Structure 1
Amino acid sequence: MIRSAATAVIISSLILSAAGPALADEPATDTTPPVIVSTGLIGGQYIRPFHMIYPTGTDDVGVTGTQVFVNGKHAGAYGWVEGMGPAAQLSIGDVADGAEVEIGVRLRDTAYNWSEVLTTRVIVDRVIPTATISPADQHILVGRSLTFSASGVPADTASIVMYDRDDRELARATAAPWKLPLDTAQLPADFPSVRITITDRATNKTDYYKFFDIDTAGPEISINSPKAGIMGPGVWPVLGYAEDRAGVARAEWWVDGALRGRNLDQLSYDFGTRERTATVELRVWDTFGNLTVGRYPFKIDAQAPTAVSHSPATNTRVRGATLKATLRLADPSGIGTVMTDQGYGASATSPFTATFQLGQDGKQNLGWIVTDYWNNRRTIYQTVIVDNTGPSVAWLAPGNGALIRGSKISSSVRASDGAGVASATLSGAKADTTSPYASSITAGKDGKKTLTWTVRDKLGNAAVVRRTVIVDNTKASLKVTKAPKNKAKVTGTVKIAASASDKNGVVKVQLLVNGKVVATDAKAAYTFSVNTKKYGKTIKIQLRAYDKAGNVTTTSIRTWYRK
Structure 2
Amino acid sequence: MSNPTGPPMFPAVKYRLPAAATAVIAAASLGLSATATPVLAATKTSTSTATELIIGLRSAAQATATVRKLDADPDVRVLASDAAPELKAVTVAVPADQAADAMAELRANPDVAYVEPNAVVQADVISPNDPLYSKQWGLTTAKVPPAWNVTTGSSVVVAVVDTGVTSVSDIAGRVLSGYDFVNNDADPSDDEGHGTMVSSVIAATGNNATGGAGVCWKCQILPVKVLGADGSGTHDNIAKGIVYAVDHGAQIINMSLGGAQDSQLLETAVTYADDHGVVVIASAGNDGSTTRAYPAAIATTIAVAGSTQTDGRYSWSNYNSSADQWVDLAAPGSNIAEDQTGGFYSFDGTSSAAPVVSGVAALALSANPAATAAEVRSALESSADAVGSWVANGRVDAEGTIAAISDNTQQQPLVISDVAVSPKSPVKGTVTVTPTVTSNGGTVKSVKMAVTMPLGKTINVTAARAPWTMAFSSIGSTGTATIVVTASDTAGNTTTASTAVTVDNTPPSATVTMPSYVTGVTPITLDAPSDDTARMEVYVRGVKVGEVTTDPWTYEWDTTAVSGSASLKIVVTDVAGNSTTVARSTVVDNAGPKLTWNGPNIGAKTALRGTVEIKAGATDGTGVAAVDVLDADGNVLGTDTASPYSIAIDTTQFSGATTLTLRATDKLGLISTLDKTLLLDNLAPVVGAVSTSPVAPARGLIAITPDITDDTGIKTAKVVLALPTGRSVQLTATAAPYTVKWVSTGITGEISATVTATDFAGNVTTATSSFAVDNTAPSALWTLPTYVNGTQTIALTSPSDDTASMELLVKGKSVAQTTSAPWSIDWDTTGLTGAVGLSIKTTDTAGNSFSVAKTVIVDYAGPRLAVTSNAKIAAAANTQIKLSVSDLAGIASVEMVDANGQTLATSGTGPYTLTVDTSAMAKGNVTWTVTATDKLGNATTIQKTFTIA
Q: TM-score range with shorter-chain normalisation?
A: 0.3 to 0.5
Task: Return the index of the structure with the highest Cα Rg.
Answer: 2
- TM-score when scaled to structure 1? 0.44
The structure in which a higher percent of residues are strand is: 1
- TM-score when scaled to structure 2? 0.28
